[in-house]
Structure 1
Amino acid sequence: MSAAVDPVLAHVDAHIGESLERLMALVRIPSISTDPAYAAQCTKAGQWLVDDLAGQGYDASLRQTAGHPMVVAHDKGATSGPHVLFYGHYDVQPVDPIGLWSSDPFEPALREGPDGEKEITGRGTSDDKGQLLTFVEACRAWKAVHGTLPLRVTFLFEGEEESGSPSLLPFLDATGDELRADVALVCDTDMWGPDTPSINSMLRGLVGEELTITCADKDLHSGMFGSAARNPNQVLAEIIASLRNPDGSVAIEGFYDDVAEVPAAVAEQWRNLGFSEAGYLGSVGLKTPAGEAGRSVLEQIWSRPTCEINGMWGGYTGDGFKTVIPSKASAKISFRLVSGQDPVKIRAAFRAHVEARLPADCTVSFKPHGGSPAITVPVDGPYLAPALAALTDEWNKPAVVVGSGGSIPVVGEFKRRLGMDTLLIGFARIDDRIHSPNEKYNLKSFHKGIRSWVRVLDALAAVK
């Protein structure tokens, strides 16, 4: 660690209240990207970031896309050291079911959690506004103390990550020369434990599919047409039930053709992490692993592919009762993919599986919702070891290299389109309830996340 770091850390500590105020201001903007009703709010959130970055002296702009805008900013101060591209997303998930929130999801507050630690509540506090701002605030502190950053930085903030990133690939293709750097930094992941920092080296890919089964040309009276008319709810239920085998594996033909076993050395490292399966499932009120039989929970969530039903609907679902046979029934299904699996091949196999099981008088239509392959980050690159050391210094516990069950498609695209590897460094906790009611971000995660990035920036600046 260089001598320049200590005064920056002191500045972070002295101004954490102001950093928290900025986070709350950003969280108050309901930037729900998947709902067209919030399009103006997404633009507002992007503009908030542009104004904030420009106020710090960056060359910042809001770039229009076919969907929600991108935020791009460049630091013109540093002229030496590596060039890093920091990526985050300012959009958030919908808040439904709103009745399960204990407070307004877009009125953040600082409260005491069950463990006595202070928590910042609200949609987007953890995913990804709080995480995004840990980096921005670290850079703010560097510039406030030293007038410039220790290395060259470009910021890229997306507004469609939670809705499949439809504008991302065209944007990367159009601005690749401008965005290309030595390494990308992404803060959209968890720590290994409340006080154990980590860097993710594996991310699963993702395929999203929406299907609609249509039978009759209109909704029918169940007394007049019951049994005689095909019911799309029943058809859909039978097809969905066919996606899994009794042992928890996915039953789609060819699904595992390209899935390899985890290398023995990696599997051994995972076994030494001290992971508690009972504690992991118990934290969400469950006891029994439901994935492939004979696989550990870490294998199931890090290195094995999945098939999950994310939503089903059809017929009357309002209050009271309506004896109707619907004309249509729909579902949204996602697949998490591992290294070697091709999203195009998996999507085609799923559609063939469904079509082969359609009875007479039924048709099916499909709507894709994004697709990206899994990625593996090299553990022998020049930036990983310095970043691990910096995190270890901040948390006083050895930082670990882990996998992730989640999907961050931009990481793979950075590699394919811009030739950059990525360091996945996040400070969220497993209990942050991202994508769920009552999302939160621990104040400790936010504060020490900022301090961590101060140290990581200093460590990366020394890489030759």
Structure 2
Amino acid sequence: MSNIEAVLAHVDENIDASIERMKELVRFQSISTDPAYQEECRKTADHLASELNTIGIAADVRVTPGHPMVVGHAEGNEGKAGPHVLFYGHYDVQPIDPIELWDADPFDPQIVEKNGIKVMTGRGTSDDKGQLLTFMEACRAYKAINGELPIPVSILFEGEEESGSPSLVPFLNENKEELSRDLALVCDTGMFDPTTPSITTMLRGLLGEEIIITAANRDLHSGMYGGPAANPIKILTNILADMHDENGRVTIPGFYDGVEELTPEVKAQWDALPFDAQAFLGDIGLSIPAGETAYSVYELVNARPTCEFNGITGGYSGDGFKTVIASKASAKVSCRLVGKQDPLKIREAFRAFVRERVPADCSVEFLDHGAGPAHSLSPDYPPLKKGAEALKDEWNKDAVMMGMGGSIPIVGEFKDILGMDSMLIGFALDDDNIHSPNEKYNIESYHKGIRSWVRVLNALAKD
């Protein structure tokens, strides 16, 4: 039996104990957004630090202005090649409301069958306690068989991810030298489907802007001023309508600078996926794709930039009717960014686009709601290739190089502050009810997730 086969066999022989450790972790009520659970978050951090130390990863709990961080370090086999990795996960969870929709106590994990599949239910099973444990249990198995890991590993567990991570950036800046490594491994993602492993190689960035247009110095009677008086709602909606052409493309000058097309290999892989665009839209009561007409629905969600309108206010919106011309109107606009789009340059172009369309006797104000670039890994990035090969070995299926329509801020912060790229490998599924009642994690996802990390660590250690 080869060394890696011995480690994998240890995982299999001890999976019941691994499941019990997941139950133990899920029982902690680590709801980060509610101050009433502050002590529970502290207990969770203490528990994780203790578990890391038990398996030979020197760890401690670091105090922050909010909930604590857990930091650990373990040397690897110095005789092998490979990066020093920083593994990131978060131990905090979302609130459980509405409690009446849960089938069981959210913090009393149960093993049940759903549609013939064995799952563990409970808040945090999938997001992110079960996920981070897949990596910890892989390290545990390596330590049990070899006494050491195949590569040097550092650990960062956060306790505020579900409440906006207010302590994270200061913590990264204060501990930059200790935490800067060759590569970050992030587990807070999922698979394309229950049998298809995935590596998220593209995350869209985000730009948030609010436009406030002021016309008259007070609200006006539409019978007295309708016609000659500028109407800020009309001005605003005309501006918003100008932001897209008839093919769904954004018309802001320079918006597509830095947008990269999919490589032929990735496009072919995506085209071959069993993604049902009609079902995707049908689930939300729609049937006709919007957005850029030259791209598939899957590409639009995962690899194309957007400019979306998230809210418009102005005038009277209460019950009944009021014939008023509002003095102000506002809109909130978000842009999802891809590739090498520069969010600050797009902000400048966006604001210039709006200003050009505001009449001279009216004014416009902008509110900044954040800006962050997209994240992507080159298909030729060596750790990515090794990770994909390791996942294929475990799942007997090529790993999908996935895009993700949303954003994971930690990935950008690792790049900007710690100067390292991130490889995102997770084993969650779309039906895990993350953030919802009856959250669950498939036992097979957990088991094969542990085995997958064993293989990934082994692959990264190779020349």
Contact 2:192 2:400 (8 Å CA) reproduced? yes
Amino acid in structure 1 at the alignment position of 2:369: P
C-alpha deviations, 1:108-137, integer Å up to 9, x for none? 644757633234445543333332222122
Are residue 85 (structure 1) and residue 86 (structure 2) matched?
yes
Q: What is the SS of the residue equivalent to 2:202?
A: strand
Spell out, residue by residue over 1:363-407, the C-alpha distance to the aligned partner (whole angstroms, 9 max, x if none): 6451423x3222221333433333223222322323233333232
Partner of 1:248: 248
Query: What displacement does 1:13 show?
Result: 1.9
User: C-alpha offsets along residues 220-261 of structure 1, whole Å, 9 cap, x if unaligned?
Assistant: 999999989999888877766665545433344432233233
Corresponding residue of 2:422 = 422
- The reply on whether 1:180 has 2:180 as its aligned counterpart is yes
- Check conservation: 1:355, 1:364, Cα contact below 8 A: no
1:400 maps to 2:423: no
Give, as a single letter, the amino acid of the residue that structure 2 aligns with 1:154.
S
Pairs within 5 Å for 1:6-405: 6-26=8-28, 28-32=29-33, 45-65=44-64, 68-76=67-75, 79-81=78-80, 82=82, 83-92=84-93, 98=98, 101-102=101-102, 106-107=106-107, 109-110=109-110, 115-162=115-162, 165=165, 167-209=167-209, 243-282=243-282, 286-309=286-309, 333-353=333-353, 364-369=365-370, 371-405=371-405
Q: CA deviation at 1:345?
A: 1.6
Instruction: Tell me the residue number matched to 2:411.
Output: 411
Quote the offset at 1:106 in angstroms: 4.6
Distance 1:237 1:204, change over 3 A: same
CA distance, structure 2, for counterparts of residue 167 and residue 140 of structure 1: 29
Q: TM-score, normalising length from structure 2?
A: 0.79
Aligned residues: 455
Give 5+ residue unaligned stretches, structure 1: none
Q: 1:84 to 1:331 in 2, by over 3 A?
A: same
Using a 3 Å threshold, how does the CA distance of structure 1 residues 150 and 351 change in structure 2: closer, same or farther?
same
| Cα distance in 2 between the residues matched to 1:224 and 1:36 | 52
Decide which structure has the larger Cα Rg and report it.
Answer: 2
Aligned residues of 1:30 and 1:106 also touching (Cα < 8 A)? no
Aligned pair in 2 of structure 1 residues 113, 334: CA closer, same or farther (>3 Å)? farther
- Secondary structure in 1 aligned to 2:424? strand
Using the alignment, how far apart are the partners of 1:209 and 1:388 within structure 2?
37
1:426 CA drift (Å): 1.1
Amino acid of the structure 1 residue aligned with 2:183: V
Q: CA deviation at 1:65?
A: 4.4
SS of the equivalent of 1:31 reads coil
Query: Which range moved further: 439-448 or 156-165?
Result: 156-165
CA distance in 1, matches of 2:393, 2:332: 44
Letter in 1 for 2:448: K
Q: Distance in 2 between matches of 1:236 and 1:114?
A: 49
Whether the aligned pair in 2 keeps the contact of 1:121 and 1:438 (CA below 8 Å) is yes
Match of 1:266, SS state, is helix
Distance in 1 (CA, whole Å) between partners of 2:450 and 2:428 is: 12
* C-alpha separation in 2, matches of 1:434 and 1:90: 14
One-letter code aligned to 1:130: G
Distance 1:183 1:206 in 2: 23
- Contact persistence 2:312–2:332 (CA under 8 A): yes
Q: Is 1:387–1:459's contact at 8 Å kept on the other side of the alignment? A: yes
260 and 77 in structure 1: CA distance in 2 versus 1, 3 angstrom threshold: closer
TM-score, structure 1 as length reference: 0.79
In 2, Cα distance between equivalents of 1:454 and 1:235: 58
Q: Tell whether the 8 Å contact from 1:5 to 1:455 is kept in structure 2 after alignment.
A: no
How many percent identity over aligned positions?
51
Q: Please give the alpha-carbon distance, in whole angstroms, between the structure 1 residues aligned to 2:164 and 2:391.
A: 31
Q: CA deviation at 1:452?
A: 1.5
Distance 1:309 1:160, change over 3 A: farther
For residue 403 of structure 1, what is the amino acid of its counterpart? G
Q: Deviations 1:9-35 (Å, cap 9, x if unpaired)?
A: 224423243133134224x32123xx7
Mapped to 2, the partners of 1:222 and 1:56 lie a distance apart of 73
Letter in 1 for 2:154: T
Greater shift, 189-198 or 148-157, is seen at 148-157
Q: Distance in 2 between matches of 1:38 and 1:185?
A: 28
Deviation digits for residues 82-121 of structure 1, max 9, x if unmatched? 322111233445667x489545895464475763323444
Relative to structure 1, the CA distance from residue 257 to residue 298 in structure 2 (aligned partners, 3 Å threshold; closer, same or farther) is same
Give the Cα–Cα distance (whole angstroms) in 2 for the partners of residues 444 and 315 of structure 1.
54
Q: Please, which runs of 5 or more residues in structure 2 have no aligned partner? A: none
